[in-house]
Amino acid sequence: MRSNISLFTGLILIAFLVTLAILAPVIATHDPATTSAEKWLQPPSSEHFFGTDRLGRDIFSRVLYGARVSLSVGMLSTFVSLGIGTLLGLLASYYGGLVDVIIMRFADVVLVFPSMLLAITLVSIFEPALWLVILVIAGTGWPSIARLVRSEVLRLRQSDFVASARLLGAKNRRVVWRHLLPNAIGPVLVAATLCVPAAVMTEASLSYLGLGVQPPTPTWGNMLRDAQLYLRFAWWYAFFPGFFVFITVFAFHLTGEGLRQALGLSQTARRGWRAGS
């Protein structure tokens, strides 16, 4: 019952945020880039729902456009790490031996780096840009997916129903597509759902540190970076962008949690990620 509530609330929130992002040009009350010298740092009003920033830009409109960046970074980087992670996890579990050792040790190596540290290191080498942020987040996110896919496949391969499928003469390809993947999909789906909020958070942190998506593109992170200097005078400047980061991350966590409960997976089942290490 409760799982349905969190899943439901999470999905509604996500749908709401995605709608805001897609319809940003329609909903926005002002142009996010238009500055106005006389209207800087105005508190929230009926004209500017979330107030204005240091250049007199409308924060409400900028937050809407920021949703586009955050959500696309979150989802695209999740797709990329899901792709890389699933592929490498399947390869490792399918071939075993040396391939397995090399892939999994490489995953171990990436995992011991704090992801933000690795991200800012990579960003420091190249010029900060949207695509780089997506790739960097994906680059630090794939190892957990790869580990999960590998341990799921290994677990399922030893299960009785795969053995009976083999006894019935199913070919390798059929075993993988008809038996392994459909059963491994639940935990992977949950992991992917929980990958999105991590990516949104990393993007926001990077932009906040000035190492992510660069101005003038409005993102929640770089709005917060600007806001920090005016924290004492304009609470709304920092409050609204941060609140949207929170709501977005919360929505995906709720969904992931709801999915996990709906699929009957335990949180500590993640222990499996260390299996064989």
Partner 1 sequence: MKSALVRRFLQTVIVLFGVSVVTFLVMHAAPGHPLQANPELRLDPTAIERWLQLRQLDQPLIFQYLAWLSRVFRGDFGESLLYNRPVLELMGERLPSTLLLTLSAFALAMFLAVAVGIKIATQQNSWLDRLVCTISLAGISVPNFWLGMVLVLLFAYRFPILPAVGMRTPGDGSILDILQHMLLPLLVMVAGNFARYVRYVRSAVLDVMQQDYVKAARARGLGENEILYRHVLPNAAMPIITVAALSLPMLFTGAMVAEYVFAWPGLGRFIITSTMARDYPVIMTVNLYTASLVAIANFIADVLYLLIDPRLR
Residues that bind partner 1 (CB under 8 A): 105-106, 108-118, 120-126, 197, 201, 204-205, 208-211, 224, 227-228, 231-232, 235, 238-239, 242-243, 245-246, 249-250, 253-254, 257, 266-268, 271, 273-274, 277
Query: Do the beta carbons of residue 96 and residue 153 sit within 8 Å?
Result: no
Q: What's the chain's length in residues?
A: 277
Least distance to partner 1, CB of residue 31, Å: 26
Least distance to partner 1, CB of residue 197, Å: 7
End-to-end CA, the chain: 37
Looking at beta carbons only, is 48 or 260 nearer to partner 1?
A: 260
Looking at beta carbons only, is 64 or 254 nearer to partner 1?
A: 254
Looking at beta carbons only, is 173 or 274 nearer to partner 1?
A: 274
Looking at beta carbons only, is 186 or 210 nearer to partner 1?
A: 210
How many CA within 13 A on the CB side of residue 127?
2
Least distance to partner 1, CB of residue 115, Å: 7
Provide DSSP, the chain. Answer: -HHHHHHHHHHHHHHHHHHHHHTHHHH-SS-TT---GGGTTPPP-SSSTT-B-TTS-BHHHHHHHHHHHHHHHHHHHHHHHHHHHHHHHHHHHHH-HHHHHHHHHHHHHHHHS-HHHHHHHHHHHSPP-HHHHHHHHHHHHHHHHHHHHHHHHHHHHTSHHHHHHHHTT--HHHIIIIIIHHHHHHHHHHHHHHHHHHHHHHHHHHHHTTSSSPTTS--HHHHHHHHHTTTTT-HHHHHHHHHHHHHHHHHHHHHHHHHHHHTT--GGGGGGGGTT-
Least distance to partner 1, CB of residue 172, Å: 30
Looking at beta carbons only, is 73 or 224 nearer to partner 1?
A: 224
Looking at beta carbons only, is 110 or 181 nearer to partner 1?
A: 110
Least distance to partner 1, CB of residue 273, Å: 8
Least distance to partner 1, CB of residue 142, Å: 14
Looking at beta carbons only, is 80 or 196 nearer to partner 1?
A: 196
Least distance to partner 1, CB of residue 181, Å: 26
